[in-house]
Amino acid sequence: MTAVSELNWQQVNQLPVDAVKSAADYWTTYRGKVVESAETVGSDVAKTIGDEHFGGDVADASRGQLQKIATEFEQHVDEFAKPLAVLLEDAHEVLSRDKQAMNAAVERVLDAQLAIKPDGEVYLTDTVLGNIVRWAQANAERAGKPWQTLAETEIARWQQQACDPMTAQVKGIVEAARAHDDDITTKLNALRDKHVDMPPPVGSDENKDVAEYWASKAVDLLNGGADGKMSPAELDEFNKLVEERSGQPEFSTALMNKLGPDGLVEHLDKVSNDVFGDDKSTYSKEQLSAMHESLGKTLATATDPTKQPHVDERWTAEFMNRGATGDNSNAPNGYQTVAPLLKHGKYHEDFLTPVAEHMMAIDKQGPWPDGSELDNLGGPKNPNANPLNYALEAVDHNPKAAQNLFTGNGKGMEDIEGVDLSGTPAVEDPVKYLMDRAEDSKAGGNLFTGGTDGDRRDPLDPNLVGNALESAATGVSTDPDYKDRPVVDSNAGKVADKVIDYATENRHKFTKEPMNDMVDNFGNITAAYMDDFHRSIASPTTQGWAVDRGPSLDLGSDATQAGKWLKLMGSDEIASATVQAASERLMYDQIQTARTTTDLEPGTAYNEAFEMHGNVTAAVTDGTLDAIADGVHQQAEDHNDVVDAVKKVVEGGAGVAFGYATGPWGGEAAGQVTSAIADRVGKQFEITEAEAARTVADKTTTAYQKALADYSSPNASIERLLANERSMNDITKSTTLENFTQRFNDSIQWVVRGYTDTAEEEEAEEKEGS
C-alpha cells in the first residue's frame, strides 16, 4: 500500500531529525557487530572443528553449515542492515533540509507579523489589520475615498504580495516533506517485506541430502524392500512417510523425479489392481485412498513453480503424455490412474490448467477406455469414472486455474513443450463444452454404448462443473476451507459473462435435472456481482451507487437479460435466498454510500436503492412462481441449508467475494435478518403448484404482492438507518418507509411487463409524451 504522509507545517517545523540520525548511527554500529558474528562463525568456529579435529562426511557437512550460517549473517547485513543505515542517513539529510526550510519560512512569516493556519495558509494578523485600518483612516481624506475602500485595497495587496507567496512556500515545503516521508516509508516497508531464504537446519527434511534420503527410502518401500514385494505394513509406512513430507519441495521434487510419471502410474496401478482385482487383495481400499492423498499432496508441491525446487517442464510434458496413453491401445490412460490424486493438495495453475485442458480435449474425443480403477472407485455411470471430474474439483480449489481454463489466459496445454497433442485439439469454448457435457450426464443409457449424447458411460458431474465455474467467476473456491484472498480481476468477470450468456440463452436446461444442480452456484455468482445487476436494472437517472469493488460484467443496462438471469435464480431455493440476501445487503450499502459521498436528497438516495432491490426481489420471486407452476423448482432439502446460504451473505463470507459494506447488520441484527430472509424465502417455496400457476396466469400486482410475503425484516433494518438521519424529520422518515413498499409495487409492474428494458421503456415514454 502506498504510504500517505499527513505531516503538517508545525510538524515539519519541528521534525525530530536528531532521532533519525541516532537511529542511523545505531544501525551502522550494530551492523558491524553482525559482521563480526559472521567472521567468528566462518573462521574461528570452523577452525575449532577443522580437519585435524574432525574428519569425514559429517564433518564436511557441519563445516558447510557453518559457512552457510556465516553467509546468512553477511546477507542480512548486505540486504537489510546496510541499506537501512544508508536510508536513515539519507532521511536525516533530506528531512533536515525540509526542517531548515520551514524554520526559515516561519521566521519570514513572523518577521512580517503574519500568521499561519494549520493547513499552511498564511494570513494577516490582527496587528497588521489594525495597522492597515489606522493607515486607511488617516489617508482616506487625502485619497478622496472611504477608508473602508482604501483598507480593502491594501488588504488585497498584502494578501497578494505577502500572504499568497508565503502560503505557496509553506505548502510547498510541507508537500516536499510529505513526499520525502512517503518515499522513506515505502523503502522501509520494502525492506520489511523482502523475502528471506534460509538454509535448512542440520537434520531437517528441507535439507537436500536429507530429502534425497527419504525419497529413496519411499521408493524402496514401493519396490517392496529386500524381498521385492511390498507388504501392507510397508505401504502404511510409505503413506505415512510421504504424507508427513508432502509439503516439502525438496522431498516432493526428489520423489517425483525418482518415480517419474511412468513410475507414478505403475505403482498406483499395482496397488489399485490388487485392491480391485479378482484375486484376494493384499492391500485395503483405505490404504489406496491414503496413497492417493499422500501422493496427491506431494504432486501438488512438486509441480508448483513458485516453490524451490520443483519438477521441470519436461517432467510435466511426460506426465501429460503418459496421462493420454495406456499400456496398450485398449488399456486405461494414465490420467485414469492418477486423477484421484488431484483431489488432494492445491495445484498451481501453471500445472493444473494445462492438465485439465488436456483432459478436456481427450474427453471430447469420446469415452475414456474401460477398465480403469476409476470405474471401481465410483461404479459405472458414476462421475467418479471420468478423470476430468477430478481435474474440475482441483480447478475449483484454485480460482486462478479455473479462470485460466475458462478464458484461455495463462499457461495452457499448448505452452508445455514436448506434449503430443495430435488428435486432441484444445476445446474452443470450455464453458459451453462442459455445460453441454454435464447435461449429457442425465441418468439412464446403456453402460457400454458410449459416445452418444446422453449416453456416455463416463459422465461429468454438473455439481463439479458448477463449482469450477463459480470458483472462476467469483475468484473464491467453493471449498469451505478455502482461506485465500479472492482472485478478482477482469478474467473473473469474463467467466461470469460466459455463464450468464449461456444460462439465459438456455434457461430451460437449468430448471430441471441434472443442470439445476448448478443454480446454487449461479446464486453465489449473482451475489458476487450484485452491484452489476443493480446497475443493469436501475433507472437511467439513478445516481446513488455503492462503491464499485470488483470487475464489471458486460450486462451494462441490459435489464432484460439481467431479469431473465435473476428469474432463473428463483427456481432454486438456495440461490433465491442467496440472491435476495445479497441484494438487500447491497441496498443498505448503496444508501449509506449515497448519503455519505453524494449530495442526493436523503429521500432520493433511499428510493433509488429501494428500486434496485425491489426489482431483484420481484424477478427472483417471479422465477420461483414460474418454476413451481411448471413443477421444475428445486426446494432445499433442509431449511438449515437456506439459513447457512443467507448467513454467508449477511456475514460477508467467502461467497460474497467482492465484500460489500456491513450495512446496519452488525451483531444481533445480523442474526435476525438472516432468519427473516431465510424464513421468507422458505415461505415463497411453500406455495402450491396450483396457487403459483394462478398467480403467474393472473399477472396482477396483488397476486405478486402476496407471493413476496412478509417484508417486515427490511423495514426494521431501514428503520434503524432512518433513526440516524438527522436531516430528515419524522414525516419524511415515515414517507420514506412507505416508499419501500411502493417501490416493490413498481418492481412487480416491471416483472409483469416481462422485464422490459428500462431505458427502452423510458425512451418510448418520452416519444409518446412528445
Q: What residues make contact with other proteins under the rule CB under 8 A?
A: 3-8, 11, 14-16, 19-20, 22-23, 26-27, 30, 33-34, 37, 40-41, 44-45, 48-49, 53-59, 61-62, 65-66, 68-69, 72-73, 76, 80-81, 84, 88, 91, 95, 181-182, 184-185, 188-189, 191-193, 196, 198-199, 201-204, 209-210, 213
Q: Which residue has the cell 455439481?
A: 463
Mention every residue, 6+ apart, whose C-beta is less than 8 A from residue 48.
none
Phi, psi of 461 (to 5 degrees): -85, 115
**Could you tell me the smallest distance in angstroms from the CB atom of residue 554 to other proteins?**
41
Q: Select 32 or 671, whichever has its Cβ closest to other proteins.
A: 32
Nearest to residue 413, comparing CAs of 310, 313, 335, 340?
313
Structural contact between residues 235 and 291, judged by C-beta atoms closer than 8 angstroms:
yes
Q: Select 68 or 549, whichever has its Cβ closest to other proteins.
A: 68
Q: Select 70 or 431, whichever has its Cβ closest to other proteins.
A: 70
By the 10 Å C-beta count (0-12 exposed, 13-18 middle, 19+ buried), 493 is classed as buried
CA distance 471 to 61: 47
Mention every residue, 6+ apart, whose C-beta is less than 8 A from residue 45.
66
Amino acid identity for residue 12 in this structure? V
Q: Which long-range contacts (CB under 8 A, 24 or more apart) does 246-249 make?
A: 246/294, 246/297, 246/298, 246/301, 246/345, 247/297, 247/301, 248/205, 248/206, 248/211, 248/301, 249/301, 249/302, 249/304, 249/307, 249/308, 249/309, 249/310
Q: Select 253 or 536, whichever has its Cβ closest to other proteins.
A: 253
**Could you tell me the smallest distance in angstroms from the CB atom of residue 109 to other proteins?**
20
By the 10 Å C-beta count (0-12 exposed, 13-18 middle, 19+ buried), 489 is classed as middle
Count CB-CB contacts under 10 A for residue 631: 11
* Bridge partners for 123 per DSSP: 115
**Could you tell me the smallest distance in angstroms from the CB atom of residue 241 to other proteins?**
13
CA distance 105 to 223: 83
CA distance 90 to 99: 14
**Could you tell me the smallest distance in angstroms from the CB atom of residue 222 to other proteins?**
20
Q: Select 59 or 331, whichever has its Cβ closest to other proteins.
A: 59
Written as one string, the DSSP assignment of 569-583 is HTTBHHHHHHHHHHH
Q: Select 82 or 639, whichever has its Cβ closest to other proteins.
A: 82
**Could you tell me the smallest distance in angstroms from the CB atom of residue 210 to other proteins?**
5
Q: Select 84 or 434, whichever has its Cβ closest to other proteins.
A: 84
Helix (H, G, I), strand (E, B) or coil at 246: coil
Grid cell of 700 as nine digits: 396482477
Grid cell of 267 as nine digits: 505403482
CA distance 272 to 285: 8
**Could you tell me the smallest distance in angstroms from the CB atom of residue 76 to other proteins?**
5
Q: What is the Cα Rg of the chain in Å?
A: 35
Q: Select 193 or 417, whichever has its Cβ closest to other proteins.
A: 193
**Could you tell me the smallest distance in angstroms from the CB atom of residue 77 to other proteins?**
10
Q: Select 214 or 750, whichever has its Cβ closest to other proteins.
A: 214
Q: Select 5 or 282, whichever has its Cβ closest to other proteins.
A: 5
Phi, psi of 241 (to 5 degrees): -60, -45
**Could you tell me the smallest distance in angstroms from the CB atom of residue 9 to other proteins?**
10
CA distance 682 to 684: 5
CA distance 565 to 529: 12
Q: Select 182 or 762, whichever has its Cβ closest to other proteins.
A: 182
**Could you tell me the smallest distance in angstroms from the CB atom of residue 35 to other proteins?**
12
**Could you tell me the smallest distance in angstroms from the CB atom of residue 178 to other proteins?**
9
**Could you tell me the smallest distance in angstroms from the CB atom of residue 93 to other proteins?**
14
**Cα dihedral sign for 340, 341, 344, 349?**
negative
**Could you tell me the smallest distance in angstroms from the CB atom of residue 66 to other proteins?**
7
Count CB-CB contacts under 10 A for residue 258: 14
**Could you tell me the smallest distance in angstroms from the CB atom of residue 37 to other proteins?**
5
Q: Select 120 or 551, whichever has its Cβ closest to other proteins.
A: 120
**Could you tell me the smallest distance in angstroms from the CB atom of residue 193 to other proteins?**
8
Q: Select 30 or 482, whichever has its Cβ closest to other proteins.
A: 30
Q: Select 4 or 443, whichever has its Cβ closest to other proteins.
A: 4
